[in-house]
Amino acid sequence: MTEAAHDRIRADIGANDVVLYMKGTSQMPQCGFSSKVAGVLNYMGVAYKDVNVLADQDIREGIKSFSDWPTIPQLYVKGEFVGGCDIIVEMTLSGELDELFDKAGVTYDKDAAAKIRDANKG
């Protein structure tokens, strides 16, 4: 069961530049952490595949062992695991997410990314 789930995960992250494993969908997140990461990606205009782990128990458990990361959401860029909610928020605020997208050739709205940072300056 786990190997089949890992094969599906490998296929998803291989076929899509950006994949977010989340609870719910990009338009209807089902938890606050998933909502936060999807909100960042949506606001920045990133094209990504959302995978609703609530709809598939094998994927929900398989993604945790695949990445060796215990929580959801999980963001992948160009087949590489980037992190969960706290890491994505931190990377967004520091500009590291922009750098990652630039290096990976992922299109996003640079002005939107700057607005997120400006709105969160303390």
Q: Measure Cα distances from 2 to 6, 17, 49 in Å.
A: 6, 23, 21
> Which residues contribute to the annotated binding site for [2Fe-2S] cluster?
31
Residue ranges for the known binding site are: 31
Please provide the distance, in angstroms rounded to a whole number, between the alpha carbons at the two ends of the chain.
47
**What is the length of the chain?**
122
For residue 46, give Cα distances in angstroms to 23, 38, 91, 112. 18, 10, 15, 11
